[in-house]
Amino acid sequence: MRMSERVEWAAHCAVLLALLPDGRSLTAAQLAEYHGVPGPYLAKSLQALMQAGIVASRSGRSGGYRLARAADAVSLLDVFDAIEGEGAFFRCTEIRRRGPSRVAAARYTPVCGVAGAMWEAEQAWRASLARVNIADLAAGTVADAPPEAVAKGVRWLATVRVT
């Protein structure tokens, strides 16, 4: 059970957008160049973030992406759900209701113990991710990254066409 690497891309894009000066935006191609990932494929992830209301896009000649709301109002869980969809890790196949011990469907409890335990674990996971927001990650990124890398990033930002 491995999550799509697009989640990592989307999270880092959100962090970078959070670090932009006010009013500034970046195109899909610029975000792809900065992270060194295939551009047309990253676009797909940005579309997902858009449908989830995390980023806003502006079309046309000077278009691009920017965060749709304040960075501290976007949790890492929001990003994950936007990319991976909201389906649970564990999906019941109702194997209780097959085989020789089956009885009428109405007689069963809604979920058995296995499903309950899985659901509870998943809630713990989601709660942990929900506690982290993009603003925290952006601050941490600047603080933890090598100073030279930050400087190079700022320099790069100055070279790309302002949109």
Interaction of residue 41 with a copy of itself, rule CB under 8 A:
no
Interaction of residue 38 with a copy of itself, rule CB under 8 A:
no
CA–CA separation, 136 and 77 (whole Å): 13
- Distance from the first to the final alpha carbon of the chain: 39
Q: Are 79 and 54 in contact (CB under 8 A)?
A: yes
> What ranges in the chain are assigned the alpha helix state H?
5-19, 28-35, 39-51, 76-84, 113-130, 134-144, 147-159
Site for ligand SF4 in 115-144 (CB under 6 A): 115
- Binding range to DNA, per CB under 7 A, among 4-12, 14-22, 106-114, 117-125: 4-12
- Binding range to a copy of itself, per CB under 8 A, among 17-25, 48-56, 58-66, 123-131: 123-131
Task: Give how many residues touch ligand SF4 by CB under 6 A.
Answer: 10
Residues that bind ligand SF4 (CB under 6 A): 8, 92-96, 111-112, 114-115
